[in-house]
Amino acid sequence: MTLGCKTSADVIKAIRSEAVDMVDVRMTDMLGAWQHISYPAKFFEQDQIDEGLGFDGSSLRGFKEINQSDMLLMPDPTTAFIDPFLSRKTLVMIADVKDPVTGELYNRDPRGVAKKARDYLKSTGIGDTAYFGPEAEFFVFDDVRYGTGQHFAHFEVDSAEGHWNTNRDEGPNLGYKIRAKEGYFPCPPTDTLMDLRSEMALEMIKIGLTVECQHHEVATGGQCEIDMKFDELLAMADHQMKYKYVVKQTARKFGKTATFMPKPLFGDNGSGMHCHQSIWKGKTPLFADSAGYAGLSDMCRWYIGGLLKHAGAILAFAAPTTNSYRRLVPGYEAPVNLAWSLRNRSAACRIPMYSDSPKAKRVEFRCPDPSANPYYAFSAMLMAGLDGIKNKIEPGDPIDKNIYDLPPEEAALIKTVPGSLADALIELENDHEFLLEGDVFTPDLIETYIAYKRANELDPIRLRPHPHEFFMYYDC
């Protein structure tokens, strides 16, 4: 339930009028996970919103050192909503993070970065609003098991829809399993998750999200998508955090588990987060020009040029896990080719053609996935696009062929995304000046992010034997 609060006083009134039991304050850590702290509503005061709530920043991933650990949560009253899942009535607010010494937004706070990106766009005079519309896919499983140690490693996921269960004793097995890569748009009873997705969509609407549609996605084993209406950058990043929370909580309520891991299944589609984006000034869409290719303006073309030029650095934030690059593999379903095109889903940047309306003119950047921290990822995309506009970066000629079917000599001329998280981090290390404009990202944030990823994600994967290596090499 949304509350329409605008001020801290409005929040206190809502706490009383809605008979709220608990107040929950949530913030996003560097890796894109919600963290929270709860307060009994009976003793929650207005000055706690206005002056901030203290917490230990050294206990969160990628934040403060222990000798500088004191931080402030600054709840945003406009984000207040009633959590639909908790047994005691709970009012939730999303918070920014401030440094109590300087009084400034903490430079590593993801929401603070998104605020600075939004403000930087306005300061350039190019436009005043960047709209984003992410399409986050996810998997719903009936069971997941995994473990790792010095002498073992394993994982196993299961879904009643999975084609591997056609012969399972389900007492009785009623069939209707989804074959690999045939999960797009089947009706029930083949699609067993329609009721679950409907419940997710309706819970999203309760807390203020505008849901456009929901459907089964391509992969067997429970791949799904629920689409939200686009919104401005900061609001959309907030919505994306709510979206993931609702998906996970609703799945758990139904006795299932949901994951936004990009590639949980071998041999089938992974989960992407295609990001539609455009820039407006007031009520005027700036990406439309009836005289341009596909009705696009020069500004849109240059924005695409910026996305393609800086794609490697962007993906350090927008495809930020080692698992992301199990999805981004040349020759398979994910868009790895750094090209742009009309309607072409094999290109990194696609121009959707569902409508000729100037308001619908946008670019869809197809490489990101839903493991991304949306505040960092959307901000990085916007900063790359603005760099393209300011420097009039041409994206090259559009490619309107199926890139996967190009002759080898033509395909070799098209650059591709980084092949691993390690490569993406190198790209970010070497190409981040565009992110520093307007102090949106800072050198400290970028250096900390790269160091964290290398130490805590690259090395643990790089140093461990992979289970499939035993299959390939044990008898060597």
- Is 433 among the residues known to form the active site? no
Q: Is 278 annotated as a binding residue?
A: yes
Instruction: Choose the catalytic residue: 76, 364, 369, 387.
Output: 364
**Catalytic site residue 137?**
yes
Q: 359: annotated binding-site residue?
A: yes
Give the whole-angstrom CA distance, residue 25 versus residue 34: 10
Residue 29 falls in the annotated catalytic set: no
Is 364 annotated as a binding-site member? yes
Query: Under a CB-based contact definition with an 8 Å cutoff, are residues 96 and 112 in contact?
Result: yes
Active site residue 366: yes
Phi and psi (nearest 5°) for 299? -60, -45
- Is 199 in the active site? no
Catalytic residue among 137, 142, 203, 289: 137
Q: Is 345 annotated as a binding residue?
A: yes
Please identify which of the residues 135, 231, 289, 369 carries the catalytic annotation: 135
* Residue given tokens 């990085």 in the structure block: 380
- State yes or no: 51 annotated in a binding site: no
469 part of the active site: no
Residue 248 in marked binding region: no
- Determine which one of 217, 238, 289, 387 is catalytic: 217
Catalytic residue, candidates 56, 143, 156, 444: 56
Beta bridge partners of 364: 276, 350
* Residue in 26, 310, 350, 366 annotated catalytic: 366
For residue 437, say whether it is annotated as part of any ligand binding site: no
Enumerate the β-bridge partners of residue 75: 95
Answer yes or no: 310 catalytic. Answer: no
212 is in an annotated binding site: yes
65 annotated as belonging to a binding site for a ligand: no
56 is catalytic: yes
Among residues 345, 462, 464, 466, which one is catalytic? 345
Residue 419 labelled as part of a binding site: no
Which one of the listed residues 274, 310, 350, 362 is annotated catalytic? 274
Say whether 68 counts as a known binding-site residue: no
Candidate list 109, 225, 238, 369, residue with the active-site label: 225
> Is 225 marked active-site?
yes
Q: Token pair for residue 298?
A: 């020069």
Feature table: binding site: 135, 137, 212, 217, 225, 269-270, 274, 276-278, 327, 333, 345, 359, 364, 366
Feature table: binding site for L-glutamate: 269-270, 327, 333, 345, 366
Active site residues per annotation: 56, 135, 137, 217, 225, 274, 345, 364, 366
Feature table: binding site for Mg(2+): 135, 137, 217, 225, 274, 364
Feature table: binding site for ATP: 212, 276-278, 345, 359
